[in-house]
Structure 1
Amino acid sequence: MYTYQTGNQTIDYKIEVVPNRTDITVQICDKEGVKVIIPRGLNENNVRSIIARKATWILKQLNGSQPAEEKPAAPKKEAVKKETAKKEAPKAAASAAKTGSFEEGDKFPYLGRQYRLNIVRGDVAKAEMTFRAKFIATVPQSWNEQQTNEGIGQLLTEWYQGRAGEKFQEALKSVKKAADNAPESVKWDELGEEYATTQDNTIVLNWRLLTAPLATIEYVIASQFTNADELFEDAAERKQWLSDNTLNAF
């Protein structure tokens, strides 16, 4: 437990280091109090500067007072819809989605970051996709262009879907630390243009949401059962990705 003194008030906080994080989050948890979630590499001085900048907000939450501005309305429990205005997807990924073709060096998003595609033709009977700081698609030497494009598209889809359950559960685990009424589990499905929906008291996420940062996925999960704008101090940053991107990245 760490302590920060501001005036005559003291803020006690915990630090949680998450290696695959790229952002910094301050949470006010019902059970754990103030928690700062940081990527690996930040030291205590970095965290103290964050606490100093957010001290006023933290104390308001701890003291149970509300911000001066009007509270945003709680999101509906049905589907979280896509924002109408979207920025253009990365050029390579957008091109692949439009034409169904894939080229060496195309970039595809995973947990908010872009990774290059490496296409390897080899003496293999079955195509496969591996990931080592980039997507590596190994396809049979005998495949023509159409077979290669269709095969890589299928490989990408299967790769994302194969990791969706694990990563979505990881995001839910973080949300549960901040909200007592969080659901016990989530699952993924093909939801078209919807980010998420609730079916029979179970939160269902679009598997393509795996292209978003983990913090954004947490925001979408929370939006299904509570007011995520109040749960997360950095809610604006978390949901910005939803306005700037499209789920149809490949």
Structure 2
Amino acid sequence: MPSFTYGTTTFDYNLEPKTKSNEVNISVEWLDGIKVTAPPEMNQEQLNELLYKKAPWILEKWKAFKDIERKPAPKEFVSGEKLSYLGRNYSLKVIAGETEHVKLKFRNGRFISIIPTNISKEEKKCDLYNAFKKWYFTHGDKKIKERAEIYTKKMDVFPSKIRLKEQKMRWGTCTPKGDIYLNWRIIMAPMAIVDYLLVHELAHIKHPNHSKEFWQLVRSVLPDYEERKEWLRINGPTLTIEY
């Protein structure tokens, strides 16, 4: 893994080729670390020069991660393990039975999964990850639409569509057409945080950028939005079911 040094700090980073443009993109994420995408014709000296210029920003991002909760342990998808839904943790019960495919239900306050008797450990993890992801999408989309009915009326905004989506780098997106997409992992957070993200993206229909007017609109709906925003910054990376 390549690295560069700024002052007394050495950073490791993932380098990926970028063929569609000549731009260099740098991202700093708590779970994924530093990622650099650069055109293949850029040599190491040019890249190091750019990284050195961006180093203060990279360092600032890393310092912000100090407050973030520790990285959660990978999921094992075994009986007794806890999985979150709307801010509450629910136990998982795994049963080996006569079935060809992994099945997942939520019943009496816990998740119950029936798995094939001959499934391997890695297959079980993969299949249960996909089963939970599908469950979160199905139930999360319904919950998001219920909450949207409340806030679209309050804010007098009417998005073209609202749905959950796979988004690695963003919690939410509002397109110029008024389509709103929320990261599916948000459905693991408390409802207050789900509401904040939803209101945030709905506000972008009236104000595309993070202007003073944008935050005034958010505050008019959620006076404590700053606390919710901070919760998401600190706890957001822990909202995961990666195995």
With normalisation by structure 2, the TM-score equals 0.60
Q: 1:248 aligns with which of 237, 240, 243?
A: 240
Q: Tell me, what secondary structure is at the counterpart of 1:87?
A: coil
Equivalence for 1:140: 116
Contact 1:107 1:116 in 2 (8 A): yes
Distance 1:115 1:244 in 2: 22
Q: 1:235 aligns with which of 225, 229, 242?
A: 225
**RMSD of the alignment, in Å?**
2.1
Equivalence for 2:103: 128
Higher normalized contact order (CA 8 Å, seq sep 6+, divided by chain length) = 1
Equivalence for 2:68: 86
Moved more, 227-236 or 134-143: 227-236
Please show how residues 58-97 of structure 1 align to structure 2 within 5 Å: 84=65, 85-88=67-70, 94-97=72-75
Return closer, same or farther for 1:193/1:134 CA change in 2, 3 Å cut-off. farther
Contact 1:172 1:185 in 2 (8 A): no
Q: State the AA in 1 paired with 2:124.
A: T
Equivalence for 1:23: none
Task: Note the alpha carbon deviations across 1:70-103, whole angstroms, 9 max, x for none.
Answer: xxxxxxxxxxxxx8442135xxxx2225xxx322
Q: State the AA in 2 paired with 1:208.
A: R
Are 2:154 and 1:178 aligned? yes
Q: CA deviation at 1:144?
A: 2.0
Q: CA deviation at 1:237?
A: 4.2
Are 2:205 and 1:215 aligned? no
Which structure 1 residue ranges, 4+ long, deviate > 4 Å from structure 2?
A: none
Contact 1:87 1:243 in 2 (8 A): no
With normalisation by structure 1, the TM-score equals 0.58
Q: CA deviation at 1:158?
A: 1.2
Q: 2:80 aligns with which of 77, 82, 105?
A: 105
Q: Tell me, what secondary structure is at the counterpart of 1:131?
A: strand
Contact 2:86 2:188 in 1 (8 A): yes
Q: State the AA in 1 paired with 2:221.
A: L
Q: Tell me, what secondary structure is at the counterpart of 2:163?
A: strand
Contact 1:169 1:185 in 2 (8 A): no
Structure 1: tracts of 5 or more residues without a match? 1-82
Distance 2:101 2:142 in 1: 25
Q: State the AA in 2 paired with 1:190.
A: E
Q: State the AA in 2 paired with 1:232.
A: L
Contact 1:96 1:102 in 2 (8 A): no
- The alignment-based identity, stated in percent, is 25
Equivalence for 2:208: none
Structure 2: tracts of 5 or more residues without a match? 1-63, 204-213
Equivalence for 2:93: 118
Return closer, same or farther for 1:104/1:166 CA change in 2, 3 Å cut-off. same
Contact 2:94 2:113 in 1 (8 A): yes
Distance 2:128 2:149 in 1: 32
Q: State the AA in 2 paired with 1:210.
A: I
Distance 1:86 1:193 in 2: 17
Q: CA deviation at 1:182?
A: 4.6
Contact 1:175 1:182 in 2 (8 A): no
Q: CA deviation at 1:178?
A: 2.2
Return closer, same or farther for 1:240/1:118 CA change in 2, 3 Å cut-off. farther
Are 2:179 and 1:202 aligned? yes
Query: 1 or 2, which has the higher helix percentage?
Result: 2
Distance 1:214 1:169 in 2: 13
Q: State the AA in 2 paired with 1:198.
A: C
Task: Note the alpha carbon deviations across 1:97-144, whole angstroms, 9 max, x for none.
Answer: 5xxx32221111111111111111111222100002111111011112
Contact 2:129 2:241 in 1 (8 A): no
